[in-house]
Structure 1
Amino acid sequence: MDKSSKQSISASQGVALYAGAVLGSGILILPGITAGIAGSYSLIAWIGMVLLSILLACTFAYLSIEYPSSGGIATFANKAFGYYTGALSGWLFFIAGSFGQIIVSLTGGMYIAFAFDLPDFFAYIIAVLLLIIATVGNYFGLKTSGKVQLVIAALTFLILLSTILLSLPHIQYHQLSLRINQDNIMSVGQSAMLIFWSFFGWEAISSLAPEFKQPRKRNIMFSTWGAICIVGILYIGIALAVVGTQSYTLGGTSTEQALNNASLAEVVRKVVGLNGAWITGIVALTICLGTTNAFIAGISRLGYSLAHDKLAPKWLDKYDSKNAVPHRSVLLVGLFSVAGVVISFILNIRLDQLVLVPNSLAIATYVIGTAAGVKLIKHKLGKILAFLSCILCLAAYPFIGTSVVIPISVVIICLSYITWRKRKEKNRNASSNYRGETHD
């Protein structure tokens, strides 16, 4: 356990922090995208992912109770399977988080473009501006205060809850169908894999565990179940609002994609009017800026930590002590994301295609984390939940399709780099010892 951690998080604060870690930009785009793929059957995928979230969240809760550490999944993986697996989880999470900022920034840009009826390329310009603002701010150590992040989390909650409540009288319940069959099982599975991006964050409780007040077990479990209830109700409610008001379209033209990417704005436009859509677009932009800023801050520090532990190129092992910023890692994450937005524009890569990249990495991270849970958790129920979570995450991979090569490639590159660096250091040490012996 981290002895230096201050135990200051109460159960109610834990619910807010945990729910805020899961509620993000994914819910702004994925209800429309998944409805465009599977229609009303996408609701099955949302319900299924909420059920999987219960297993995942409880698994990490039990791990956090028995092994409280700010290191999170990387610590669990290292403790359960050793040095190399811990390194792999760090690499997978770093690349998933860096790539994810492409999606987050584009989400903000697409909401503004849709709400104000701007040409598509404006979404990419706005996305690049969001990334530049967040990168420059992090580079010079301009931190977003906890209060600002809390306001952003509150905005996310309010826009989701308001959209659900406003849409209820307009939902066409008679057109909803939850019957799954051979004809729609693939589209439901593909939707579920996209939805995974919205639920990425259940591991956050692991890093916060040492800071919970006593009794730690009760407070962590209360926070976990509170967050599950809030996130589950909001996500299923939003999916129902989009599907029930038919604020999406089945198809693939640029106009149809724009509608699906900004489905919440379309829901509000239908039930409130044009001004409501504008407000939704601006709030969505604010949410995405806050998310991008927070993720660049967190992911850049992970990159620095990996380099400092000799698990990533030493070029990243630089820390600006004056501003308390790993400035090279911040630049790498920012430039990577900007390049990703530019490439997406040039190659006309859709958001639903982009989401599969961090999803494939995120699921691999969860496979490692839940497998660690199977080995480490002593509590019988916790061990069973970890086993079920691991099996379901593994079962999800066939629906990712060719994207499965992404985590495999990361694993190969990570292990190759670590092996090469260890061999290089071994040869250097051997050479130094040889020169010393010769000199003697």
Structure 2
Amino acid sequence: MNPNKPSISVWQGIALYVGAVVGSGILILPGITAGIAGANALIAWIGMILLSIPLAFTFAFLARTYPSAGGVATFVEKAFGTYAGAVIGWYYFIAAAVGQMIVPLTGGLSVMYALDLPLEAAYIIAGGTVLIAGLSNYVGLNISGKVQLAISGLTMCILLLTIVLAVPLIEPDNFEMQLSGSALSSIGVAGMLIFWSFFGWEAISSLAPEFKHPERDLVRATLGALIIVGVLYFGAAVAVIGTQAYTAGSGAEQEAANSASFIQVMVKTTGVHGGYATAVVALLICIGTTNAYVAGISRLGYSLAQSKVAPSWLDYRHGKYLTPTRAVVFVGAVALLGLVITYIFKVGLNTLIHIPNSLGIATYVLGAMAGAKLLRARFEKWMAAVTSTICLLAYPFVGAFIQIPIVVGVCCVAYVFWRKNRP
């Protein structure tokens, strides 16, 4: 879209917003969270949907008041200074770097389960997906925004189809909950994992200058997206739990099976061929999403280097392809190395997801605190304060990973200070 000519209507805004939030994470998280918390996982899904309301509206209010393509980083820098804005950039970069390992592994696990292949096959497929995305971005064959919207649409179709087909097989007894002390802890852990599938509520911020009527349509688009995403996500969780398409426990075998819960539902409802088809579609979704991850994070790295808040080695464009090839090679290498490490040390998806989650929650805390400082209307300030408070209260559930944003933030500030003051 042409940034100099506002062209986004409220319906287009809803589509773009839903496309930014609905990703491949929803294909694995209903099963993984059910494996951890059982039927109690529904409480975690409801909680995260409710948390999304003040979160999404806070960023919509900020985008309406301070329309900028810079998004959250711009708000935080405006509220707290250059160093805080740089920290947000580093948070995004590292969160996406880990995310680009999770997404292709999701596709690999889907194919592995559908075809009854060994675990090694999932990692080989994931590595191949990263290579395809890296090579296409190296030579400039990026997937267009329309194709990315189509991928999100395909994901939504899988969700809807799974929900509809699962209805006849849902058993009320599968929703029996047990609310004990340990159960509450598992609900909190499940909630932090679910957070991964809700990333993207800040995406509307960078699109604000392209809305025809941002003062009116930003909030409307946010409301529409909240309703669609909430219904789809809760429906998907109900389908998986109601048909018991998961295995209780958090071991490696249970997690691998639970990451393919949607395929289990499809096999139960349409037979083994339905499972094959779902696995192929899931892989295509993950290939497209990984391509977008590599494209976005490599350009973010290039942009951070240009702004002198990341190593200057990344500030390079290929003479022929005009792409940030060094950044593409770097993020691709990080993903491949990460896949090797996770395979050797048997690091599961439920552990990996906590890394970008910890950084994402920290980003939302800083963004909401910026809203509490910058927004003028009392209600908007209150909404931002509620968002930052809830995120802070939820933060301890990431466990030991709570240290990651602190370490990243200190490293970022130290690097930027050194870069500014070196001889």
TM-score relative to the length of structure 2 = 0.97
> Per the alignment, in what secondary structure is the counterpart of residue 182 of structure 2?
coil
Aligned letter for 1:92?
Y
Change (3 A) 1:382 1:179: farther
Question: Which residue does 1:114 correspond to in 2?
Answer: 113
1:2-31 CA distances to partner (integer Å, 9 max, x unpaired)?
x95320111111111100110001101111
Unpaired stretches in structure 1, ≥5 consecutive residues = 428-440
1:198-221 CA distances to partner (integer Å, 9 max, x unpaired)?
0011000001110011x2122111
Question: Which residue does 1:165 correspond to in 2?
Answer: 164
Find 1:258's aligned residue among 256, 259, 277.
Answer: 256
1:220-275 CA distances to partner (integer Å, 9 max, x unpaired)?
11211111111101100111111111011112444322211111111111111101
Alignment of 1:141-160 (within 5 A): 141-160=140-159
Change (3 A) 1:404 1:325: same
> Per the alignment, in what secondary structure is the counterpart of residue 184 of structure 1?
helix
Alignment of 1:271-282 (within 5 A): 271-282=269-280
Question: Which residue does 1:333 correspond to in 2?
Answer: 331
In 1, Cα distance between equivalents of 2:155 and 2:233 = 12
Q: How far 1:423 moved relative to its partner?
A: 2.0
Question: Which residue does 2:214 correspond to in 1?
Answer: 216
Question: Which residue does 2:67 correspond to in 1?
Answer: 68
Identity %: 54
| 1:246 maps onto 2:244 in alignment | yes
Question: Which residue does 2:198 correspond to in 1?
Answer: 199
Question: 8 Å contact 2:174–2:244 — kept in the other structure?
Answer: no
Change (3 A) 1:349 1:64: same
| 1:366 maps onto 2:373 in alignment | no
Question: Which residue does 2:224 correspond to in 1?
Answer: 226
Unpaired stretches in structure 2, ≥5 consecutive residues = none
TM-score relative to the length of structure 1 = 0.94
Q: How far 1:302 moved relative to its partner?
A: 1.0
In 1, Cα distance between equivalents of 2:264 and 2:400 = 32
Q: How far 1:300 moved relative to its partner?
A: 1.1
Question: 8 Å contact 2:56–2:202 — kept in the other structure?
Answer: yes
Question: 8 Å contact 2:252–2:348 — kept in the other structure?
Answer: no
In 2, Cα distance between equivalents of 1:383 and 1:173 = 42
Find 1:413's aligned residue among 384, 403, 411.
Answer: 411
Larger Rg: 1
Question: 8 Å contact 1:167–1:245 — kept in the other structure?
Answer: yes
Q: How far 1:321 moved relative to its partner?
A: 5.7
Question: 8 Å contact 2:105–2:126 — kept in the other structure?
Answer: yes
Question: 8 Å contact 1:44–1:178 — kept in the other structure?
Answer: no
Question: Which residue does 2:139 correspond to in 1?
Answer: 140
Question: Which residue does 1:377 correspond to in 2?
Answer: 375
Q: How far 1:146 moved relative to its partner?
A: 3.1
Q: How far 1:323 moved relative to its partner?
A: 2.8
Question: Which residue does 1:434 correspond to in 2?
Answer: none
Q: CA RMSD in A?
A: 1.3
Alignment of 1:334-349 (within 5 A): 334-349=332-347
Q: How far 1:178 moved relative to its partner?
A: 5.2
In 1, Cα distance between equivalents of 2:319 and 2:55 = 37
